[in-house]
Amino acid sequence: MNEQPSYKRYTVTSALPYANGPIHIGHLAGVYIPADIYVRFLRMNKEDVIFIGGSDEHGVPITIKALQQGVSPQEIVDKYHGIIKKSFEEFGISFDIYSRTSNKVHHETAAEFFRKMYDAGQFIEKISQQYYDEATNHFLADRYITGTCPHCNYDKAYGDQCEKCGTSLNATDLINPKSVLSGNEPVLRETKHWFLPLDQYESWLREWIMIGHKDDWKPNVYGQCKSWIEQGLQPRAVTRDLDWGVKVPVEGAEGKVLYVWFDAPIGYISATKELTPDWEKYWKDKESKLVHFIGKDNIVFHCIIFPAMLKAEGSFILPDNVPANEFLNLENDKISTSRNWAVWLHEYLLDFPGKQDVLRYVLISNAPETKDNDFTWKDFQARNNNELVAILGNFINRTIVLTHKYFEGIVPEAGEFNASDKAAFAEMKQFPDRISKSLHNYRFREGLAEMMNLARLGNKYLTDNEPWKLFPTDPGRVATILNVSLQICAQLSIVAEPFCPSRWPGSGTR
């Protein structure tokens, strides 16, 4: 195992969820629980770390939902930002700040970021053909257009992707395109937009990722980046014809906003500005480590596009790691918000009060770290009963009950340690280092398994030494056995805290 490099501080971000719906277990397993474990672990080690979160409140999905419900986009984001933030707080995701991209400081920060790149000539201006709805007088973003997929003939494909076959599309690829706004067939009109010339950063990205991060990024992250780079990068539009979002801060850009993939990651920076006047040391000091926790659908944005933006702007550090997880399914079926096929966090918290750590434990145990995994209620019940209760809870309960029974709840003084005691201590000493290495390397499922192995060690030690049989004839030996068992309990209370914080002293929050 490579020795971990030393940093003065850590900047940890988690993907900004769209504020057009609540949080579900797929979000938790893929992004927020792993990020929270990592941050709690760093805090326990007295590291200077900030944990940044917030709602992504721009983009077409939000405006479409507002259109469907006959309300303003602001009403949509206000509703769901409140639900999401409250759910995270009650579940115990220990953000230092949970912000939102509709805040004034974010609009100012994103506009300033764009303007600096614009003034430095970092963008390409292009006039292109884009669909326009003559009935509503709107240029149509990709998701405002539906039609038949030319690959699988699905008749409800969007202008950027067919959700049935998964193929990426351009709006002009669709057969029989229709406007979501009016239902009419749109027409093509000329419009001007600004593009980030990703092709100009291809050689730098190739060296930075394919050489610099070949060995320390997760295989799924590296593989997706490598595939994109080897296919050849193309300029990507950073503006859209919309009236909801960060206004493009240049002349001739009336009716245009920053494209959501451009403004959303800047939300990490603007949230840090809200958090502390010393925000620059977390984003501009090369002795700060930047880590993005995301799902696999955001790999390209965080590993190619946002780094290219940071490189072009010129004053920011780059991400050191982007530990993206795969997807979590529900009962052998893809989680779908449109079909309401999900376990929603805010509903879980109502149905299972005080059971935050049970869900954390189950989702970590089955985390989709290397492949898509499946959540089932049968597995939820089995892991709670057979692991949390039968292994961890059983060992602690036995130890505490016996300590009260024989020593009035006072930690007994140990006598001379025998071979069994020394073997338990020798094995016990290895667990903190094993778990630390797992967490440093973003292997949270492995770290949790080691935590449970420590509980197994305690159960085996207690069972092998049978203090309940020895007390009538050798209470001194029982005192030593329970002293050792209580030391294992104490170590468990420490190593379990990042995984199951609400069951242990100290929450890991500031």
Burial of residue 286 (CB within 10 Å: 0-12, 13-18, 19+) is exposed
Query: pLDDT grade, residue 2 (50/70/90)?
Result: very low
Query: pLDDT grade, residue 5 (50/70/90)?
Result: low
Instruction: Say whether pLDDT at 225 is over 70.
Output: yes
Rounded to the nearest 5 degrees, what angle is found at the Cα of 105, between the Cα atoms of 101 and 111? 80
* CATH fold for domain 9-122+261-330: Rossmann fold (3.40.50)
Structural contact between residues 34 and 93, judged by C-beta atoms closer than 8 angstroms: no
* Predicted pLDDT of residue 269: 98
Parse the chain into domains and list their residue ranges.
Answer: 9-122+261-330, 124-193, 376-503
Give the separation between CA 182 and CA 144, rounded to whole angstroms. Answer: 10
Tokens matching residue 402: 């016996």
Give the separation between CA 462 and CA 439, rounded to whole angstroms. Answer: 28
Query: May I ask the CATH class of domain 376-503?
Result: mainly alpha
Structural contact between residues 366 and 373, judged by C-beta atoms closer than 8 angstroms: yes
Q: Do domains 9-122+261-330 and 376-503 have the same CATH topology?
A: no
pLDDT single digits (tens) 42-99:
999 999 999 999 999 998 888 888 888 999 999 999 999 999 999 999 999 999 999 9
Which stretches of 40-91 are assigned E, i.e. beta strand? 49-55
Instruction: Say whether pLDDT at 478 is over 80.
Output: yes
Which stretches of 117-211 are assigned E, i.e. beta strand? 124-133, 138-139, 145-148, 157-158, 175-179, 187-196
Give the separation between CA 122 and CA 125, rounded to whole angstroms. Answer: 10
Least confident of 61-70, 301-310, 359-368: 61-70
pLDDT single digits (tens) 311-324:
999 999 999 999 99
Query: pLDDT grade, residue 1 (50/70/90)?
Result: very low
Instruction: Say whether pLDDT at 510 is over 70.
Output: no
Instruction: Say whether pLDDT at 368 is over 80.
Output: yes
> What CATH number was assigned to the domain covering residues 124-193?
2.170.220.10
Instruction: Say whether pLDDT at 506 is over 80.
Output: no
- Average confidence (pLDDT) over 474-492: 98
Q: Which residues of 323-357 are buried (b: 16+ CB within 10 A; e: fewer)?
A: bbbbbbbbeeeebeeeeeebbbbbebbeeeeeebb
Tokens matching residue 65: 């939902």
- Average confidence (pLDDT) over 11-17: 97
Query: pLDDT grade, residue 503 (50/70/90)?
Result: low
Give the separation between CA 7 and CA 268, rounded to whole angstroms. Answer: 20
Give the separation between CA 66 and CA 77, rounded to whole angstroms. Answer: 9
Provide, rounded to the nearest whole percent, the portion of the chain with pLDDT above 70: 97
- Average confidence (pLDDT) over 270-291: 98
* Predicted pLDDT of residue 473: 97
pLDDT single digits (tens) 115-170:
999 999 999 999 988 899 999 888 888 888 999 999 999 998 988 888 788 677 88
Query: pLDDT grade, residue 509 (50/70/90)?
Result: very low
SS3 442: coil
Structural contact between residues 74 and 102, judged by C-beta atoms closer than 8 angstroms: yes
β-strand partners of 179:
145
